[in-house]
Amino acid sequence: MKSSTPLISFIYTLVVVTYGAPPPSDFRGLNTGKIVGGVEADRHEFKFLVDIRLQNIHLCGGSIVTPEWVVTAAHCAHSAPSGYTLSAGEHNINVTEGTEQVRQVTQINIHPNYLSYQYENDIALMRVSPPFEFNEYVQPVVIPNVNFAPTTLATVTGWGSISEGGGSPPNDNLMKVVVPFVDDVTCQRNHYGEIAPSMVCYGEAGKDSCHGDSGSPLLCGDNQTLCGIVSWGEGCARPNLFRVYTETSFFSEWIRSSTIKFEEDSNPAQFITTCGARIDASSAEITFQLGASIPAGQKCVWVVKTRYDSVRFRLSSSGLGENDGLYLTNFAHSEPGTQKRMTSVGQNYTVASGFVLVTLSIGSAPSSGFRLEFFSSGFSDQTRDFSEFARFTTNTGRLSYPIDGGITRPNEDALFVINPTMSAVRTLRLTRMDVETDTDPSCRYDAVTIYDWFDNQYRHLDRRCGYSLPPSFTLESGLGLVTFQSDSGVGGTGFDFEWV
């Protein structure tokens, strides 16, 4: 794990720890100072720069992408949206100059692959309301293309410290400094191999960003392209310990797709006819045995992950009987949530996307099939994908996890669906357990969780960690879910389970 620190405002941490977070009216952007080794920026030289405040105290910087969206570092965005305000059109953040636009944050999208323990994919988007109004003081930043090459020199700007220990200049004006590019080999060597491909290094002794500059822009070229976002480092402006930035070009498509609204497809993009599937698409049509017979007791599960953050389901045709069910279950944070039964042709149901389990449950008599469509729209969905996924249709089977051996990884979120072709009562057994232990029986860190389909819903059976093996579990309908989640800490050699 890195011993370095992100560059959020030191004064924010000090004030909150010592006195508690102040009410918004008590402060106007307290901060610790400026960029190290730089000069004062021209007024409104960086029209896209915003002052990110948490409880009205300067915390980080950010860059305007669209009137509604600002990009910053993920480690600047861990609190609830209601705690943040963003101020554009700033120069001196402790003086009201008449050019400011202050907005409330209403939504935060942290990159789904952000790894907090090593600052990898350290990027987030904040949505504001009302939108910023572009004028001579406030404008959007230029987002680089995916193949953008870092320039030899770049400019970093912000309201951070002028030295590693803090230190404030006479005023609180925006500062800037020009820093040189550092090649990957040199940066890797000096940071002990902790530089990911999505990071880029700039800096030299005496010139650097510092505490309070996190999330602020690194700018390349005359058009001020956002080539980096201040992320982490060891100290400030130390010799041979260069500043590490999130390399924005790695995330250009993510930024664009997350800040532009998309409309529904005019027609389904995929067509599924199997009993169960994993579906990753902006839209799809599930047509199963429409006009044909489905055996009594049949169960099928389709795991749906849509591209955008709102998804509309529509039952367009159905031969299902009153004792059959077609259910839509939100599946967030590796557990089943709200559920809706689709019963009538023409029925629509819209949910926030992420993962949705579409479960068909046929009653005690044979039935006919159905056609279900879904269409997603809105902004890009930010739900993190499963770290591992498998769907088993065999009547008996066994899984050893991790599948390739070794130890479990940090921040895992795995799902295994047991959906045998033949419907019958089955027994599920955990046959090996080596999952991080916890003195709390709720297993707060790493855990294996088991659900079965019972009484037309997913029923929680157990949540386990440690080494001991529990009694066997009965899957009343033969359909079950096994999930595994891990935190960012210690891993074990995993677990085995079987169903018979």
Q: Which of 9, 51, 63, 75 is catalytic?
A: 75
Domains 153-258 and 270-380 share a fold: no
Closest CA to 412 of 497, 494, 305: 494
Res 20: pLDDT: 36
Q: Is 75 a catalytic residue?
A: yes
Distance CA 38, CA 53 (A): 23
Q: Tell me the β-bridge partners of 292.
A: none
pLDDT lower than 50: segments of the chain: 1-3, 10-34, 168-171
Closest CA to 480 of 458, 443, 446, 452: 452
- The architecture that CATH gives domain 153-258 is Beta Barrel (2.40)
Res 8: pLDDT: 56
Res 351: pLDDT: 92
Query: Which residues are CB-contacts of 470 (< 8 A; sequence separation ≥ 6)?
Result: 430, 462, 464
Residue pLDDT, tens place only, 39-97: 899 999 999 999 999 999 999 999 999 999 999 999 999 999 999 999 999 999 989 99
Q: Is 122 a catalytic residue?
A: yes
What single DSSP character describes residue 248? G
> Which CATH number fits the domain 388-499, given the four candidates 2.60.120.260, 2.160.20.60, 2.60.120.290, 3.30.300.30?
2.60.120.290
Whose tokens are 């011993």? That residue is 3
> Which CATH number fits the domain 39-129, given the four candidates 3.10.20.30, 3.90.1330.10, 2.40.10.10, 2.40.30.10?
2.40.10.10
CATH number, span 270-380: 2.60.120.290
Q: Is 214 a catalytic residue?
A: yes
Query: Which residues are CB-contacts of 298 (< 8 A; sequence separation ≥ 6)?
Result: 275, 360, 362, 423
Q: Which of 51, 91, 122, 163 is catalytic?
A: 122
Distance CA 413, CA 113 (A): 12
User: Is the pTM value of this prediction over 0.75?
Assistant: yes
Distance CA 369, CA 112 (A): 36
Res 163: pLDDT: 57
- Domain range annotation of the chain: 39-129, 153-258, 270-380, 388-499
Q: Which of 198, 214, 231, 376 is catalytic?
A: 214
**Which token pair is 107?**
């939504």
Res 474: pLDDT: 97
Residue pLDDT, tens place only, 394-420: 999 999 999 888 999 988 999 999 999
